[in-house]
């Protein structure tokens, strides 16, 4: 095996959801911290198990509060080699190197990270036919409780995926997430081309 994985303990105390408050105090939507955390972990576990069952064994990511539970589960699972990047462009390069070394890579990022990663995706993954599964925490949909900053992703993420000719599919409900991820993984490696999954709606809703 060409990879020598280095496991770095994921410190979940560093990254907290913007809605998580101390001592179980209810947030503005009437949910306590404990109930929010349980729901997020439940959905994170679906993503984690789907990637494992799909045969993904390498995951590059940049820590993000929206998906930190999924990132934590994956980094603590010995079935995965994980790379925590300092920016998403580096994460794309890590996935490309992993593929060339025989791994099955996935990129786990947020909308903002996808925007950062567009050039390396275009010039490396798309141009040279390097497959990688891209999971994007997608905010800004109508009905999303995310604040005003996230509306920009409503008008940027999907158009850029289309411009890059990266096929994508949406997972908006927890019960469909596993099937969507496994189908996207199948396509990316059959087509030798990146394929994205937009994790949105109930999957990310706190």
- Which pLDDT tens digit goes with each residue over 39-49? 378 889 999 99
Asked if 172 and 143 touch (Cβ cutoff 8 Å), the reply is: no
User: How far is residue 8 from each of residues 41, 65, 76, 84, measured CA to CA in Å?
Assistant: 20, 18, 9, 9
Confirm if 202 and 174 have CB atoms less than 8 A apart. Answer: yes
The predicted model scores a pTM of 0.80
112-149: pLDDT as tens digits: 889 999 999 999 999 999 999 999 998 767 666 666 66
Q: pLDDT value at position 146? A: 66
Mind listing the domains of the chain with CATH numbers?
42-203 (3.40.50.970)
pLDDT of residue 68: 87
- Residue that is written with structure tokens 């913007």 in the block: 18
Which range among 8-22, 75-89, 95-109, 175-189 shows the weakest confidence by mean pLDDT?
Answer: 8-22
Question: Is the CA virtual torsion 24, 29, 31, 33 positive or negative?
Answer: negative
Task: Note the pLDDT tens digit of each residue in 146-182.
Answer: 666 666 777 688 999 999 999 999 998 889 999 999 9
């Amino acid at each position: 095996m060409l990879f020598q994985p280095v496991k770095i303990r994921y410190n979940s105390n560093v990254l907290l959801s913007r809605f998580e408050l101390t001592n179980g105090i209810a947030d503005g939507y009437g949910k306590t911290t404990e109930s929010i955390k349980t729901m997020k972990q439940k959905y994170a576990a679906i993503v984690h198990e789907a990637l494992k069952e799909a045969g993904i064994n390498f995951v590059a990511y940049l820590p993000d509060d929206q998906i930190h539970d999924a990132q934590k589960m994956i980094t603590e699972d010995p079935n995965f080699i994980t790379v925590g990047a300092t920016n998403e462009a580096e994460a794309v390069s890590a996935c490309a190197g992993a593929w060339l070394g025989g791994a099955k890579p996935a990129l786990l990022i947020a909308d903002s990270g996808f925007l950062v990663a567009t050039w390396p995706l275009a010039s490396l993954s798309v141009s040279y036919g390097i497959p990688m599964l891209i999971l994007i925490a997608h905010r800004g949909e109508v009905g999303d409780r995310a604040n005003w900053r996230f509306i920009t992703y409503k008008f940027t993420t999907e158009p850029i995926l289309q411009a890059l000719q990266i096929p994508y599919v949406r997972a908006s409900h927890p019960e469909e997430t596993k099937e969507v991820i496994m189908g996207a993984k199948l396509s990316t490696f059959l087509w030798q081309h990146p394929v994205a999954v937009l994790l949105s709606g109930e999957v990310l809703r706190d």
